[in-house]
Amino acid sequence: SLKIEWMEAYSFAHELEACMYAGGDKREDGSLKPWQDYTPQEWLDESVFSVKQDVKLLDKYILEKGSDCTREALNKHGVDYREIDYLLPHVSSNFFVDRFYNTLLERNIDIPKDKWFMNLSRVGNVGAASIYLMVEELMNSGKLKKGEKILLIVPESGRFTYALAYLTVC
């Protein structure tokens, strides 16, 4: 079993424009034009109800804000990154893995990649379920030992929200 030592959540929705959205479209100033401001024909022509993501905004902030949150949470709870036995970071694509590692390094968080546990290449990005599937797979891997520490890092790119949890293997 696992004991939750702490959990932290951070949101940057008040600082950054929406990165993922549906039922509207982005204006040049970053605000959202709601579906009610379109005609029914425009709904179809402009795919107003499709989920969209601003990948330029994602690329600019997702790693920076996630690494800042990680540093802040570790500092708040007095956790030295060297105490972490397993890091389970949810990333949407392998494109972000090395870049996230380097962004953490810039914040003096040097968790070696051999401590990273990911299943993206086998399971794919299954959104909100991803972290649960990683935890379940690690729990059933036979690798865990009593007393080991696990850090979960889960970003939500729609409004740049991050959740972190620090667990102890019981």
* Per-residue pLDDT reduced to its tens digit, 97-117: 999 999 999 999 999 999 999
Half-sphere exposure of 52 (CA within 13 A, CB side): 16
Give 20-78 as a DSSP string.
EE-SEEE-TTSPEEEGGGS-HHHHHHTTTTS-EE-HHHHHHHHHHHHHHHHHHHHHHTT
**Gap between the Cα atoms of 120 and 91, Å rounded:** 8
**What's the mean pLDDT in 107-128?**
96
List every span in the chain annotated with CATH 3.40.47.10: 2-18+54-169
* Per-residue pLDDT reduced to its tens digit, 75-92: 999 999 999 999 999 999
Per the CATH hierarchy, to which homologous superfamily does domain 2-18+54-169 belong?
Thiolase/Chalcone synthase (3.40.47.10)
Taking Cα atoms as reference points, which of 101, 115, 112 lies closest to residue 144?
Answer: 115
* Per-residue pLDDT reduced to its tens digit, 2-57: 999 999 999 999 999 999 999 999 999 989 999 999 999 999 999 999 999 999 99
